[in-house]
Structure 1
Amino acid sequence: MRGLEHHLPDPAKRIEGVDYIQCDVLEDDLADAIRGCDAVISTLGVSFTPSTAIDPPPLYTEGTRRIVEAMGRVGIDRIAVISAAFVDQQAGVPSWFRLTVVPALANILEHMRAMERMLEAEQGLKWTAARPGWLIDLPYSGEAQVKARTLSTDCFRCCHADLAALLLDSVVSGRWIHEKPAVGKPEADDLEGLLALREELESLHLRRDR
């Protein structure tokens, strides 16, 4: 197993059995780095900050395109990527989130839609575009509900580890090919409210500024 990283993790945080390769998905030739792999799981994403909300870097669009092109050169036809449930309207999303956060994410979500359209247009590519709810950094629950395209009722949030499990399962099992599975699970009220969002965004800004 290989992990392509823009910034290599500290040795203490590396996973045993993973070969880490440093690269820039927007600049480097990725073909040699993925040669011999059976599938690619792309976890490309951008943080939600004022600057990225206004002008997102083209990781979803150009980055994914470059990965797919490299896959074609080395004979890999299976990829799973991260999109977002909110690229489509979600009936179970709280109104405060739908009316405030989703519009703020508009430019990022449009990049995700463009990525999905690009994958759909690729001939012979076996793709999966996972659509998590609002991500939360909690351990694997094993209770995530997965549904085609839209979140299940009351499944507004998604644990990072549950999303990772869906991505891994999709490439190992062959499920969700040419599909956009939405994944999430109900959480406690104090993790689904406006205050929780504010605290998480403040935490992101603090980590970014250090």
Structure 2
Amino acid sequence: MKIALFGATGGTGRQVLSQGLAKGDGFHVLARSPETLQPATDLEVIAGDVLDQAAVDRCLTGTDAVICVLGSHGSAEPVEADGTERIIAGMQRLGINRLVAVTSMGVGDSREQVPGFFRVIMQLTLKKIMAAKERQEQLIRESGLDWTIVRPGGLTDGPATGSYLSGTDKSIKATRISRADVADFVLQQLRDDRYLHQAPSLS
């Protein structure tokens, strides 16, 4: 499968890329700093910004599916919603239907699955980022695409374990999960319609 990957230079994105390449998938990757990615067979890196529609379209052209793991950090303006808006527009124009996007537990109807102390943090220090993720999910739901939204708990840099909870049951609470396990689940969704038009949690 040829996959357009947005957010490849982040921790989860790097895991998606390395695991996908190991499985034999090919990737088009959009990156503002292409030099931070190691060259590989079946990897095409497009230099550009996810807020640039032309760059997004170049990344999408010739691909079968899209993985979006956009993230924001620090004081920078969140890109999740505006970037996803451009990705959706490009997919609709090019006739690419399958989208798997990673947001976070605590977004939308998963708010109560997050511990109370983290809900306070979300309001105090992550308010803009969480608002961007809320809008991102809304855009995806209204896109008309074949989408799956993946909502992990607290991310770590630990190894892949293959042992994690996933599903839409609201009894799943936000605990720590490695980016490697998130990447494993995300890649599975490209070939599995079990969570089509749903937002499973990961923990």
**Deviation readout 1:45-93 (Å, 9 max, x if unpaired):** 102x2x24xxx33x211110101111112110111111110113234x4
Secondary structure, in 3 states, of the residue corresponding to 2:63?
Answer: coil
The alignment's TM-score, normalised by the length of structure 2, stands at 0.77
Secondary structure, in 3 states, of the residue corresponding to 1:86?
Answer: coil
Tell whether 2:172 aligns with 1:152: yes
CA distance in 2, matches of 1:61, 1:136: 23
Shift of 1:151: 6.3
Q: 1:78 aligns with which of 98, 114, 119?
A: 98
One-letter amino acid of the counterpart of residue 136, structure 2: M
Give the number of the structure whose alpha-carbon radius of gyration is greater.
1
Structure 2 counterparts to residues 58-207 of structure 1, below 5 A: 59-87=79-107, 88-91=110-113, 93-99=114-120, 101-103=121-123, 104-123=125-144, 125-148=145-168, 150=170, 152-153=172-173, 155-184=174-203
**Could you tell me the percent identity over the aligned residues?**
28
Secondary structure, in 3 states, of the residue corresponding to 1:44?
Answer: coil
CA distance in 1, matches of 2:177, 2:171: 10
What are structure 1's unaligned runs of at least 5 residues?
A: 185-210
CA distance in 2, matches of 1:16, 1:131: 30
Q: 1:4 aligns with which of 4, 9, 30?
A: 30
What are structure 2's unaligned runs of at least 5 residues?
A: 1-25
After superposition, the Cα gap between the structure-2 partners of 1:89 and 1:23, relative to the gap in structure 1 and judged at 3 Å, is: same
Shift of 1:158: 1.8
Shift of 1:6: 1.9
Secondary structure, in 3 states, of the residue corresponding to 2:34?
Answer: coil
After superposition, the Cα gap between the structure-2 partners of 1:111 and 1:151, relative to the gap in structure 1 and judged at 3 Å, is: farther
User: What is the aligned partner in structure 1 of residue 64 from structure 2?
Assistant: 38
CA distance in 2, matches of 1:44, 1:71: 16
CA distance in 2, matches of 1:156, 1:132: 9
The alignment's TM-score, normalised by the length of structure 1, stands at 0.74
One-letter amino acid of the counterpart of residue 106, structure 1: K
**Contact residue 150 and residue 181 of structure 1 kept, 8 A:** no
Shift of 1:15: 4.5
User: Over the residues paired in the alignment, what is the CA RMSD in angstroms?
Assistant: 2.0
**Contact residue 69 and residue 103 of structure 2 kept, 8 A:** no
CA distance in 2, matches of 1:118, 1:21: 24
After superposition, the Cα gap between the structure-2 partners of 1:84 and 1:150, relative to the gap in structure 1 and judged at 3 Å, is: farther
Shift of 1:122: 1.8
User: What is the aligned partner in structure 1 of residue 46 from structure 2?
Assistant: 21
